[in-house]
Structure 1
Amino acid sequence: LKLIGFIAAAALIDRIEPRRLVIGATLVMGLACGLAAMTARLELLVALRIVQGFSGGVLLVGGQAMLFLAYPRSRQPILQALFAMGSVVAPATIAPALQGWLIDSQSWTWIFFSVVPLALVAAGLLLIADGPMPERTAPRRFDWIGFALIAVTLFCATYVLSQGSRWDWFEEPRILWLTVIGIAALLTFLGQQLLARGEGLIDVTLFGSEDFCFAFIVSFVAGAALFGSAFLIPAFAVSVLAFTPTDAGQLLLPSGALFIGALLIAAYLLQVRRVPPVATVPFGILLITAAMWMLSGSTSDSGADDMMAAILLRGFGLGFLFLSITLIAFGHLDRRNRAAGIGLFNTGRQLGGLIGVAALQTLIDHGVVANGAVLGANLSAGQPAVVERLAATTAMLTAKGIDAAAAARAAAGLLGRAVTGQSTVIAFDTAFNAVALLFVIAAPLLVAIKIGLSRYAKARAARRREAKA
């Protein structure tokens, strides 16, 4: 529903004054969270999560669109850096730490309760602030058919990507059928948008901008890096290092400070020093790649101190990457299609994140099984090292008062757990390497795409000049 909210937000902004829309979405979000904290009925919780997802998508697009409406382009770097602190940094670093602490010390309902005062304060500040007044134009006809088709597509994509690994993908008929339905809905939607001739749900004029096309493609890679690494690091800490939810959440917290610092440095370079936004993208990619490569050397004996340098480097790289692609995407869009561009860009980032997490989860699940088979095949009963390990463990357990037969069985069980643990470590290290390889492969492809888009834009401009002449 958040993805659907991203797509629908532009049409709502055409019909409702942006400040009122953001206030309404904020209050709806707060009310839904308050009700979710007070009920244990699953059906009502699902309905409230639907409301939260849709209002959250509208809120993000509406808030970012208001910044572009209220302030000139020259001040956008610092404003978008501040906006990213709330829309990207907080969910990726501060929220996991706060939620982990609430789960350990209170209960999960406090996660929802904590949203209510934030929503009330935010709505109050918006009510007393002067809102930007966009140029009022006749709203475009809402494409209900296109909206229904893209909603089906996004629902199927979200379910398949979030649940596919759990059900072993296409071994489960439900996953297979939803994939087929989602692909059919997407193809039908694309065909319907072409036949709509500019009157469809998606504003096709967005793709006339070379910068937006490039940033839209990069958003998938950036989303995979952000959400994928944010999934891997706490999951490794909890499943391998036996961290509590609080400790796992706090592991990402210091990287938030570096993330914010990189956003502010990038904003200074772009706004004061007039550095082109595309210049900081390679630097961000390089830092994230290095961070993931460093994390790929983690072991079961690693601690927070061992991982911290890589985690801080990751936060620093994400700050340079996200601000740059945001300004590349929206910097040259006009008021007429900017909200639609923001919605589409965030949809790409969210889908990239879903794809990245699904791929990494599948890689880990398959890796644990494959690594266990390889390691287990080398632990035959007659090997001296295995015999020595089992004998030492049995002797230790017997010394603690356990019966000899039971101690032997327990020793074999402990050896099996050690093999499983090592298999999991190797699987996570492979996943960290996969994120690094994503950028190694994606970087030259993105450069080629950027060059191709630039040449296409120049050729199209030349044809226009010839036609005018």
Structure 2
Amino acid sequence: MLYATSAAVMALGSGLGNGMITANLASISGDMGLYLAEANILLAVYVAFNATANLMLVKARVQFGIPATMHVVLGALMVAQVVQILHPTLGTAILARAVSGLASGGLTTLSLYNIFQVFPVKTRPVAAVIGFSLPQLAIPLARMFPLSDIAPLGWQGLHMVELALALAAWAMLNLMPLPPVERGKVFEPLDAVTVMLTIASMLLICTVCALGRFYWWTDAAWLGWMLAAAIPMLALALFIEDRRERPLLLVRWFGTKEIVFFILVAIVVRLALSEQTYAAIGLLTLGGLTSDQLHPLFATVMVAMAAGIATVALTLRPDRVVPTIMTAALIIGVGAWLDTHSTSVTRPPELYLSQALLGFGTTLFLGPALLFGIGQIITRGPNYLVSLIVLFSTTQNVGGLAGSAMLSTFQITRARVHSERLAEALSTGDPAVVERIGIYARLLETRVADPILLRQQATGLMGQALSGQANVLAFNDTFWVVTILAFGIASFIAGVTLLARLKAGRAQAQQVTR
């Protein structure tokens, strides 16, 4: 029971702080004197360091031990949060997000280790599913955190929450020690080169994904220069690893058909899951709802995600991994399809079912996807573990950021198209348009005496209503994209599975005839 509690604390520590910052970024970025576009650099830094954390931490745990490694990481996290609280600047905030992303990777693994102590050895696959799925519950929980409790302290209130979580994780690490593991000298000089090149390239890629829609992809030349620098650096890191005798990353393994299948499915499903974090929230925010009004919705999502974890834990078997992933994609597709019928008056109760399906599909997908990857390394040996963890973390973290970037870009583009079409369809001589402008004018006439100015402001309100409707239609288009993606990947998995079975059947028939 104590190890289960420790696992829950570690899981919350790995994701709750960043989830709260992501959920409230638009509301509190002004507290630091930043535009929203500038504040998004904090998300990019966190994702980049979180995606690459295990490049450093896996070997550190082997050479120095789990407790020593995590004491250093948690100590750095607490120091970074205290510095940010005492001296709040953009530079210290970036430092805090970098260390937080690194610590999150370590805390996720610690949560898994603690869960392993709860279950017997024969049920370790179930423990792995639960351990990697628990941090996902921090995302809806962050959306349920009352903004009024941290608002008096502004941005610093969120750093205090992260500091408290780090202290709780540090306390549990000391109270509930893990069994000792075999240690040895594993670090090599070239590890540092690979780590630095990978982190630098990921920082550039994540920055482009986070800021592209704000500065617009084709308008800011520096976005292109960032990508132009990131790709060669990442390629050089992979080239170095491919030529090493004892590499951190087994690059050629990434090119096998099983891992390509794994990468494709993981990225596409992660893109689809961005529907919940960007599109659904964007639609409700467009309707004027605040974070505090979405608490019941995310309570429903959290229950659904917990149900997904329980379902996988109770039903998963090696022969069910791929069908479970396909089922998760279908459930995500159904949830996104339900949202395609949204209107300007859609409110959280209308989204309970669809978002619950997406939450259920999230945790139904994560565990089996991880076990699919683990199944690929069982016959190859533990040397492949670092490559798998880094690959899985990258597809989920960078994939989520890229998914939001893709969906937001599509939504903005479609909103412009719908706005133009609606404007073309309306005429100032249309009786319905004249009547609506008249309604707006009567609402304003007590405050605006000049009839010309009154007419202009009423027409402006009409334009705002048109823009709002165009954005709603664009969000519906975005939901359709997610629906097609989810159903498409489910069909792809079904096709690959059927083809594999047909090949196996033909091979078996040929053996019988011989």
Partner of 2:425: 378
Counterparts in 2 of 1:144-183, with a 5 A limit?
A: 144-183=192-231
Partner of 2:471: 424
| Cα distance in 2, alignment partners of residues 95 and 445 from structure 1 | 34
The answer on 1:358 being equivalent to 2:370 is no
Deviation string 1:59-89 (CA, Å, 9 cap, x unpaired) is 3345446766996663234423432453212
| Cα distance in 2, alignment partners of residues 56 and 456 from structure 1 | 43
Shift of 1:323: 1.6
Q: Evaluate the alpha carbon distance shift between residue 270 and residue 74 of structure 1 in structure 2; reply closer, same or farther with a 3 A threshold.
A: farther
Contact 1:220 1:350 in 2 (8 A): no
Shift of 1:105: 6.3
| Cα distance in 2, alignment partners of residues 454 and 28 from structure 1 | 51
Partner of 1:242: 288
The one-letter amino acid paired with 2:57 is A
| Cα distance in 2, alignment partners of residues 393 and 49 from structure 1 | 46
Partner of 1:268: 314
Contact 2:340 2:479 in 1 (8 A): yes
Partner of 1:22: 70
Partner of 2:279: 232
| Cα distance in 2, alignment partners of residues 18 and 420 from structure 1 | 54
Report the more deviating stretch, 186-195 or 311-320: 186-195
Report the more deviating stretch, 290-299 or 120-129: 120-129
Deviation string 1:350-392 (CA, Å, 9 cap, x unpaired) is 1211211110111122122221111111222222322232234
The one-letter amino acid paired with 1:188 is L
Counterparts in 2 of 1:56-75, with a 5 A limit?
A: 56-61=104-109, 63-64=111-112, 74-75=122-123
Partner of 1:41: 89
| Cα distance in 2, alignment partners of residues 265 and 100 from structure 1 | 32
| Cα distance in 1, alignment partners of residues 373 and 386 from structure 2 | 11
User: SS in structure 2 opposite 1:165?
Assistant: helix
| Cα distance in 1, alignment partners of residues 172 and 473 from structure 2 | 49
Partner of 1:463: none
User: SS in structure 1 opposite 2:195?
Assistant: helix
Q: Evaluate the alpha carbon distance shift between residue 449 and residue 35 of structure 1 in structure 2; reply closer, same or farther with a 3 A threshold.
A: farther
| Cα distance in 1, alignment partners of residues 495 and 489 from structure 2 | 10
Partner of 2:144: 97
Aligned residue among 443, 452, 455 for 1:405: 452
Report the more deviating stretch, 213-222 or 10-19: 213-222
User: SS in structure 1 opposite 2:87?
Assistant: coil
Partner of 1:461: none
Partner of 1:467: none
Counterparts in 2 of 1:453-464, with a 5 A limit?
A: none
| Cα distance in 1, alignment partners of residues 467 and 170 from structure 2 | 50
Shift of 1:311: 1.1
The one-letter amino acid paired with 1:117 is A
Q: Evaluate the alpha carbon distance shift between residue 455 and residue 88 of structure 1 in structure 2; reply closer, same or farther with a 3 A threshold.
A: farther
Counterparts in 2 of 1:320-399, with a 5 A limit?
A: 320-331=364-375, 332-333=377-378, 334-398=381-445
Deviation string 1:154-197 (CA, Å, 9 cap, x unpaired) is 1111111111111111321110111111122223233333322x
User: SS in structure 1 opposite 2:215?
Assistant: coil
| Cα distance in 2, alignment partners of residues 277 and 368 from structure 1 | 39
Deviation string 1:430-453 (CA, Å, 9 cap, x unpaired) is 112111111122233345566789
The answer on 1:251 being equivalent to 2:323 is no
| Cα distance in 2, alignment partners of residues 4 and 59 from structure 1 | 14
Contact 1:214 1:450 in 2 (8 A): no
TM-score between both structures, scaled by the size of structure 2 = 0.79
Contact 1:225 1:435 in 2 (8 A): yes
| Cα distance in 2, alignment partners of residues 444 and 52 from structure 1 | 38
Contact 1:94 1:256 in 2 (8 A): yes
Report the more deviating stretch, 358-367 or 244-253: 244-253
Shift of 1:288: 0.8
Shift of 1:211: 6.0
Shift of 1:428: 1.2
Q: Evaluate the alpha carbon distance shift between residue 138 and residue 107 of structure 1 in structure 2; reply closer, same or farther with a 3 A threshold.
A: closer
Aligned residue among 172, 188, 195 for 2:243: 195
Aligned residue among 337, 346, 356 for 1:312: 356
Report the more deviating stretch, 68-77 or 355-364: 68-77
| Cα distance in 1, alignment partners of residues 197 and 153 from structure 2 | 42
Contact 2:262 2:369 in 1 (8 A): yes
Deviation string 1:20-71 (CA, Å, 9 cap, x unpaired) is 3234323432332333233322222222222222222333345446766996
Contact 1:65 1:338 in 2 (8 A): no
The one-letter amino acid paired with 1:266 is V
The one-letter amino acid paired with 1:428 is F
| Cα distance in 2, alignment partners of residues 420 and 208 from structure 1 | 46
| Cα distance in 1, alignment partners of residues 503 and 150 from structure 2 | 52
The one-letter amino acid paired with 1:48 is A
User: SS in structure 2 opposite 1:125?
Assistant: helix
Can you give the 5+ residue segments of structure 2 that lack an aligned partner in the other structure?
1-48, 506-514
| Cα distance in 2, alignment partners of residues 151 and 104 from structure 1 | 33
User: SS in structure 2 opposite 1:243?
Assistant: coil
Contact 1:70 1:131 in 2 (8 A): no
TM-score between both structures, scaled by the size of structure 1 = 0.86
Q: Evaluate the alpha carbon distance shift between residue 347 and residue 67 of structure 1 in structure 2; reply closer, same or farther with a 3 A threshold.
A: farther
Contact 2:77 2:96 in 1 (8 A): no
The one-letter amino acid paired with 2:343 is T
Q: Evaluate the alpha carbon distance shift between residue 64 and residue 360 of structure 1 in structure 2; reply closer, same or farther with a 3 A threshold.
A: same
Shift of 1:342: 1.8
Aligned residue among 428, 435, 450 for 2:482: 435
| Cα distance in 1, alignment partners of residues 115 and 258 from structure 2 | 19
Partner of 2:331: 287
Shift of 1:416: 0.5
Percent identity, aligned pairs only?
Answer: 21
Contact 1:61 1:343 in 2 (8 A): no
The one-letter amino acid paired with 1:269 is T
